[in-house]
Amino acid sequence: MQRYSFRSSRAPGSQAGIALVLVLWVIALLSVMALAAVSTSRTEINLVRNRVDEARMRALAEAGVSMAVLRLRSTQEEDHWYPDGLPNSWQFAGQEMQIRIYNESSRVDLNKASQQVLLDLIAAVEMEGVDADAVVAALLDWRDQDQSARQQGAEDLDYRGDGLPYGSKDKAFDSAAEFGQVLGVPKGLSRLLEPHLTVHSRNAQVMLEYASPLVSAALGGADQPQSPVMGGRMDGQQQGSAASAESGGRSLAGPVYRIRVSGSGPAVETLVRLGGGRSGIVSVISRRFDWRKEVDLNGEGGAGPLDALE
């Protein structure tokens, strides 16, 4: 009987080579999976760290605001921090902070300011090509509730004719940034004036006592409340202020303050309204992070436009 013998056509070395390639592929795949897991873990750690840092900044900002309010309401005049924009150094939880307080009533209120005050402020900028009369007329048309355009003003048809997708608001301004949406307001003028404008003072008059040099120069001759010695810190220092029945010395102005807390991270700016009396309610109007460099309003570093946090 004839016997047949069958042998594999592949040599043992060939099989070993295929096995080695498979092992290498498995190792490569596991390495990729491990790198992906490490990268994911690192991303999650960074996210958690960012949230912790943000929570820490919020807590430090809250502490700074609370200290500023306590200083404003202190019965001891030597403990007061005044709303003059000058830095007040304070250390808390191992963090050195600079706290600046601004008086919101020393800014021009877009909803309450008279036509003359607005004209004086825009004229003080002396920006070439800006028609102050036309800008103020359009601004007044923006905040009134009718569709009758003033001379040189602007209502809905004028905005559409200029290719803008919106018309005249016919309501009060909601923020100082809204000034840039008024027809005829150049971006440069909006950027320059926004730090000097407000919608929170609720007063037609401007307290020049702690006003910026621009506002002081524009309205210095107007019928505005001011100290016996004109304030505004034209030389970077407070030149004087009116006596206050509450403080017994320099005026604390108010009741709305812009409190800016800065340290190693981004600055945090909180807008607060203080209730009557030393134990009145403190209302937080807004709170914002500022990741950009501070804008110098008064020669000492001021608060510029910010990205809204809440």
Which whole number is the average pLDDT over 130-147? 92
Q: How far apart are CA 61 and CA 58, in angstroms?
A: 5
Among 224, 255, 295, 302, which residue's Cα sits nearest to residue 105? 255
CA distances from 10 to 7, 15, 17 (A): 9, 7, 11
Packing angle of the helix pair 132-143, 115-125 (nearest 10 deg) = 140
Among 78, 87, 121, which residue's Cα sits nearest to residue 208? 121
Per-residue pLDDT band for 258 (boundaries 50, 70, 90) equals very high
Each residue of 85-134: pLDDT tens digit? Answer: 999 999 988 888 899 999 999 999 999 999 999 999 999 998 888 899 99
Residue 238 pLDDT > 60, yes or no? no
Question: In the chain, pLDDT over 70 holds for what percent of residues?
Answer: 78
Residue 145 pLDDT > 60, yes or no? yes
Question: Which structural domains are found in the chain, ordered by start?
Answer: 59-107+206-310 (no CATH), 108-193 (1.10.40.60)
Residue 135 pLDDT > 90, yes or no? yes
Please, are residues 303 and 83 in contact by the beta-carbon 8 Å criterion?
no
* Beta strand pairing call for 108-109 and 197-198: parallel
Residue 232 pLDDT > 90, yes or no? no
Residue 221 pLDDT > 90, yes or no? no
The pLDDT value recorded for residue 291 is 61
The pLDDT value recorded for residue 133 is 93
Please give the structure tokens belonging to residue 115: 């036509």
Residue 27 pLDDT > 50, yes or no? yes
Q: How far apart are CA 166 and CA 154, in angstroms?
A: 12
The pLDDT value recorded for residue 23 is 80
Q: What is the residue whose two structure tokens read 């004028």?
A: 158
Among 294, 290, 300, which residue's Cα sits nearest to residue 266? 290
Q: Which of 187-201, 203-217, 221-235 has the lowest average pLDDT?
A: 221-235
